[in-house]
Amino acid sequence: RSVAIVIGTRPELVKVAHLVRILGPAAHLVHTGQHYDAALSGRFLTELGLPEPTLLDGVGGKPRAVQVSAALAQLDALFAERPPLAVVVQGDTNAALAGALAANARSIPLVHVEAGLRSHDRAMPEEHNRVVIDQLADVLCAATDDNRDLLRAESVPAGRITVTGNTVVEAVHEHLPAAGERAALLAAYGVTADRYVLATAHRPENTDDPAALAAILRELASLAAELPVLFTVHPRTRARIEAAGLTHLLAPLTELAPLGYGEFLALARHAAVIVSDSGGVQEETTVLGRPLVVVRRSTERPEAMAAGFAELVAPGREIGRAVRRRLAAGPAGLRSLAERPSPFGDGLASQRIAVLLAAVAAGRAGHEPD
C-alpha cells in the first residue's frame, strides 16, 4: 500500500517534489488537474523529476465548489479501490481541501504539510481551506514555531503538531542552477545581476480588479524607465490584462511566459528587487536572500516581513516607493539580506515529514484519539 499525495497546482508540485523522491515507489501522486496546463504543471513534473501522476477529470477552470466536489468524488473512488496508508496534502488549495475531505470520509490518516498558516483575511478562499484542513488533519507539519502557536490557539492538540520547517527550502537548494548557468541565463535575458526587477502577479485580488491591475502595471512601467523589469505573466493575468484593455501598459516591460522553476529561481537570485503577490515567492526570496515587495492586502507568511526580507504594500504608488527604497540600499542592503538565515527552515523538512509518515504507516501515529 502506498501514501497518496494529492496536489493540483504549481506550488504544490514544487513543495512535495523532494518528499515524493524520498518515498520513491511508496508515493502515489494524484493530480486533481486544478491547474494542469503545460506551462504550470506538465513541465514541472519533468523538471522536478516527479513520476507521472494519476490525473483527475473535470476540475480545472471550474468554480471552487465544483473543483472541490469533482475532485472529492474521484478521490473517494480511487481511495476505495486502492486504500492508501495515509493521504498527504500541501498548503491551502482546493486540491488540498478535496484531498483532506476524501481522507476524512474514509478514515485515512491525513498529513497536512505547511499547516498553521493564517492571513486572518476571511475574504481569501485559501484561509477557509487552511482552517478546515488543519482541523481535519491527524499529523500537522508546521513550517515555523509561529505556525505551531497559531494552531495551538485554535485548540489543535499539541500531539498532532510537529515543526518541520518548510519544504520549499530544500526545493530552492536543489533546483537553483549553478552560478555559471545563472550567468548564461542573465546574459540570455539581457540583464545584469543586481540591476533589474523581477515581477509576478496572479492573485484574484490583483488581477480581477481592473483598477488594482492597472495600478500594478503602471508602477512596474514607471520603474521600467529606470531599470529593466522582467514580468513573468501567469495565464490568468494575461487574460485579465487583455479583458481590461491594459495591454499597452506591458510595452515598457519585458514580458515573459511562465518560467520553469530553475529559471525563475535563477532570475530571482540576482534581481535587485522582486515584486510579487505569490505565496511561495515570499518563502523562496528568504532562501535566496533577496528583497521582496509583496503586493497584497494581507499575508499568511509574516515571518518574511519580520526577518526583513519583505514588505507588504497595496497595489498603487507604494509599490514604486518600496522598490526605490530597496534600490537605494544598494549593494550593502543586498549583502545584509544574503547573510540572514531564512525563517522557513533548514532544508530538512521533507526528511522530517518522511519520518512522520513512516510512523503513520506503521500505525504508530495519526487518527487515534488524543
Kindly tell me which residue out of 56, 266, 281, 312 binds ligand UDP, with binding defined by CB under 6 A. Answer: 281
Which entry of 202, 234, 248, 367 is annotated as an active-site residue? Answer: 202
**Three-state secondary structure call for residue 35:** coil
Verify binding: residue 303, ligand UDP, rule CB under 6 A: no
CA distance 31 to 37: 12
For residue 142, the cross-strand partners are 115, 163
Is 173 one of the annotated active-site residues of the chain? Answer: no
Of 14 and 156, nearer to ligand UDP (C-beta) is: 14
Neighbouring CB atoms inside 10 A of 298's CB total 16
Q: Which residue has the cell 502515489?
A: 28
Verify binding: residue 206, ligand UDP, rule CB under 6 A: no
Q: Which stretch binds ligand UDP (CB under 6 A): 51-59, 94-102, 273-281, 311-319?
A: 273-281
Verify binding: residue 202, ligand UDP, rule CB under 6 A: yes
Q: Which stretch binds ligand UDP (CB under 6 A): 10-18, 55-63, 137-145, 356-364?
A: 10-18
CA distance 167 to 18: 8
C-alpha torsion 58→60→66→71, nearest 10: 70
> Is the Cβ–Cβ distance between 137 and 353 less than 8 Å?
no
Q: Least CB distance from residue 341 to ligand UDP, whole Å?
A: 19
Kindly tell me which residue out of 196, 261, 309, 344 binds ligand UDP, with binding defined by CB under 6 A. Answer: 261
CA distance 145 to 138: 18
Can you state the angle between helices 349-361 and 10-23, rounded to 10 degrees? 60
Residue 208: C-alpha distances to residues 33, 120, 203, 213 (Å): 22, 21, 8, 7
Q: Which stretch binds ligand UDP (CB under 6 A): 9-17, 131-139, 298-306, 308-316?
A: 9-17
CA distance 85 to 169: 27
Contact map string, positions 207 to 236, toward ligand UDP, x by CB under 6 A: -------------------------x----
Verify binding: residue 11, ligand UDP, rule CB under 6 A: yes
Verify binding: residue 36, ligand UDP, rule CB under 6 A: no
**Which secondary-structure segment (H or E) carries 345?**
none
Verify binding: residue 200, ligand UDP, rule CB under 6 A: yes
Residues in contact with ligand UDP, counted by CB under 6 A, come to a total of: 15
Binding-site ranges for ligand UDP (CB under 6 A): 10-11, 14, 200, 202, 232, 258-259, 261, 264, 278-281, 284
